[in-house]
Chain A
Amino acid sequence: MDIVILSRIQFALSTLFHFLFAPLTMGLVILVAIMETMHVRTKKDLYRRMADFWGVLFTINYTLGVVTGIVNEFQFGTNWSKYSTFVGDIFGTPLAIEGLFAFFLESAFIGLWFFGRGRISPKMRAFSMWMVALGSNTSAVWIITANGFMHHPVGYELKDGIIHLSNFWELVTNPYAIYIFIHTLLSSYTTGAFFVITVSAYHLLRTPKMDFFRISFRYGILFALFSTFAVIGTGHFHGVYTAKAQPAKAAAFGSIWESEEDHPYPLLVIPNVKKERNFIEWLKVPYLGSLLYTNNIHGKVPGLMDFPKEDRPSVHPLFWSFRIMVGIGFLMFALPALAYYLYRKKQIFYNKKFLTILVYSLPLPFIATNLGWVVTEMGRQPWVVYGLLRTEKAVSPISLGEILFSLGGLVLFYSILIIVDVYLLVKYARKNPEVKE
């Protein structure tokens, strides 16, 4: 295999692995911070114990988010040095700001929150958790500002074959980045909410009367209701913008070959890439395609045939990732909606079947968020910076031995870490917080 493919595999592996932890960090921190605030307001010990229980789970996850994140920051230089030289004047800046503004904040205050127990006041602990929330949530702003440039380059000029920053304001208000950011943030909240829901459901199956998890469960459901609804809505607008800014990607994730106005949307599709059409297109809903792609029932939907073959992303991974992500998205909206309905009818805590379904829904947000990134990033191919630099021209002049060494090491260490992480999370999630050991 060649260096380009291996470098892409390594980058995909390490970023997707990092993104198992990052969304849970960004979502769960909000709920823990709310629990801390409730503790300050009501002075009830219950909220103290809730914040500690979910907080420990948060820190286990957070640790791995930190150590896997650092690889990603240096990987641009080690493996994509030509990309780094080309784009550094714009791409490095948000990364540096992310470190200065976001990572310092979250890392300093998570230490204070965790080790300050018993030494700092409840108010200080609540404040610390909100600072961690601010840090982790703004880190997404900056990394996605950098990422947004790869998809939709703005605020730059080309000089001497490399990119120069020409307008910082355009860079930070890049609409593409804003769409990705909001969609990512809300999907992270969904992840945090589902984590709390499933762990609470696990305990409620055994001890349905336990206030601790009844309240946690309600927090999770309310948070999920808001975030899943909003993630679908922003997903739609993100898609419309993608159709404008990166039409080839939008055509590929819908497996649409011919551009067309008044496009009907087939609910069942199987792509046939070789023949550049689809094996089946069943259950066509008139005008739906145009509406989804352009917000207008007569709008023109882009097709893959508009682009030369070498400029198209690969259809299969995009199409299936997108379909599964959207399917899971709707399922994740339905589950908390139904849970809320049953909760209002006071039937939820003894409904073992439904609680069991909720427990098993834990992987859903993790699968959906990672598939979302597969769509976003594989859809950018064959470009590393859309329209400006091709991926195969971006890699470092490294040897096969070197890339095999780093890839092998990452696979080894990440495999160990994920086993330890899941083991610890399961162990701590199963603990009964009302029983002192």
Chain B
Amino acid sequence: MTQQTLAEIWYLLWAFLWGTYFTFEAYIVGTGILFPFLAKRKEEEQQLKKSIGPFWDSNEVWLIVAGGVTFATFPKTYALLLSSFYIPFYLILFSLILRGPGIEFMDKILSPSWKKKWIWILCISSFFIPFLFGVAFSAIFSGLPIDEKGMHLSFFDVINGYSILGGFTYTVLTLLSGCLWTSYKTLGKIQEKAALVAKIVWGAAVLLVFAYFIVFINFTTLFDSLENAPLLWSVPALCVLALLLTIFPLRKKKWLMSFVLASFAIFTLFASGFTGMYPDMLPSYIDPQYSLTLYDAAGSQLNLTVMLWVAGLILPLVITYKIWIYWLLKDKITEKNAQDYQ
């Protein structure tokens, strides 16, 4: 394969890995944000903790892999993106630093005040992770101030109407994902509460996703390229469709189906952005000729080939044992079997 073809394949994989991270992070941070509001008794807290405890770390690895793959296959994108979005990325990193101990340490000392502190740390850090990722990627999707000398990001290039809308859209979708995951994994009072919240959040998510697409289609150049490839409109269409359909299995208490649909909506929301940007990785709003495209940023032919072999061999294995572990831990979490896990 030529270097160009390899680079195009890697763009798809790159988008797939980031999308997968955002999808699997969603139910963890969603549950994290709602933790202090959903769980009122000790048993309920245990149930929530047990529903995300085994998975938060291995889902976060999707981020490490997405970051590593960006570095390995598109070094220029990695360097320009991270050094330009310096403050937002550090805020995300600080949130990630605090989120893990929030889950892992809350029960290490049996004291209500200790636990309460870590639950609030978990809640607040869980909010900033999806919000800031939503902001950062929406800012990229809506275009960046790149000229012939490079990127000169000002505060309002990161924080503006588009990016804040994107931040809230993704955050609300994570709430939906978290509620549905809780409904699927737990039994008892906490499940009823989560299902109720899911229905309300679903309404908000539909509104925001519609607003997101209307704004991005009408006021940014993100989807202009789809004029030449109308079939690709199916990606945002699938996002909207999946989200709309989420409510039906939810009403019938088919939690898993509902959760899968919501997750698919999250994945396709980001996939829409990556589809619209293609072949740009960091699009310029000053002049498209200054955009950093996948062809500008891609690594050497040998490197991309090695990486493709590695990913092709390891990813199927990873997905297999991940599914196996979900299956091994498939039991519903009741108030009884969620006993103390310190």
Contact = CB atoms under 8 A, between A and B. Distances in A.
Given A77-B71, A96-B71, A420-B105, A85 B76 contact: yes
A87 B302 CA distance: 14
Interface stretch (B52-60, B189-197, B200-208): B52-60
Interface in B295-318: 299-300, 302-303, 306-307, 310-311, 314-315, 318
A424 B53 contact: no
Interface in A53-82: 56, 59-60, 63-64, 66-71, 73-74, 76-79, 81-82
Counting chain B CB atoms within 10 Å of each CB, the highest count among A73, A92, A166 belongs to A92
Interface residues of A, number: 69
A112 B109 CA distance: 22
Interface stretch (B90-98, B212-220, B230-238, B280-288): B90-98
Interface stretch (A208-216, A240-248, A345-353, A396-404): A396-404
Contacts of A93: 72, 303, 306-307, 310
B93 A88 contact: no
Contacts of B80: 81
B72 to A, nearest CB: 3
B249 interface: no
Contacts of A77: 67, 71, 78-79, 81-83
A327 interface: no
B9 interface: no
B36 interface: no
Contacts of A428: 108
A85 B58 contact: no
B314 A85 contact: no
B302 A166 contact: yes
A112 B67 CA distance: 25
Interface stretch (B37-45, B176-184, B321-329): B321-329
B306 A66 contact: no
- Secondary structure call for the A interface: helix
B241 interface: no
Nearest to B310: A97
A100 B331 CA distance: 28
Interface residues of B, number: 62
Nearest to B118: A420
A409 interface: yes
A93 B70 CA distance: 10
Given A77-B83, A168-B306, A63 B328 contact: no
A103 B65 CA distance: 9
Contacts of B63: 70
A63 B104 contact: yes
B211 interface: no
A89 B54 contact: no
A165 interface: yes
A31 interface: no
A210 to B, nearest CB: 22
Given A60-B108, A92-B68, A398-B83, A116 B94 contact: no
Given A100-B310, A114-B341, A398-B83, A409 B75 contact: no
A274 interface: no
B85 to A, nearest CB: 8
Contact of B325 (A112, A117, A427): A112
Given A96-B65, A427-B109, A112 B83 contact: no
A59 B311 CA distance: 28
Interface string B215-230: 0000000000000000
Nearest to A109: B325
B83 A96 contact: no
Contacts of B67: 73-74, 77, 99
A89 B68 contact: no
Contact of B90 (A59, A166, A406): A406
B86 to A, nearest CB: 5
A71 B315 CA distance: 23
B71, B73, B80, B306 pick with most chain A CB within 10 angstroms:
B71
A298 interface: no
A419 B97 CA distance: 14
B108 A424 contact: yes
B61 interface: yes
Given A110-B57, A168-B302, A420 B86 contact: no
B113 to A, nearest CB: 14
Interface in A109-129: 109-112, 114-117, 119-120, 124
9 contacts: A66-B100, A77-B81, A92-B68, A99-B61, A101-B314, A104-B61, A112-B325, A165-B302, A409-B94
Interface of A: 56, 59-60, 63-64, 66-71, 73-74, 76-79, 81-82, 84-85, 87-93, 95-101, 103-105, 107-112, 114-117, 119-120, 124, 162, 164-166, 168, 396-398, 402, 405-406, 409, 413, 417, 420, 424, 427-428
Interface of B: 50, 53-55, 57-58, 60-61, 63-65, 67-73, 75-76, 78-83, 86-87, 89-90, 93-94, 96-101, 104-105, 108-109, 150, 299-300, 302-303, 306-307, 310-311, 314-315, 318, 321-322, 325, 328-329, 331, 341-342
Query: Top 8 closest A-B pairs, CB basis?
Result: A88-B75, A77-B82, A92-B71, A92-B72, A111-B54, A96-B68, A81-B83, A81-B79
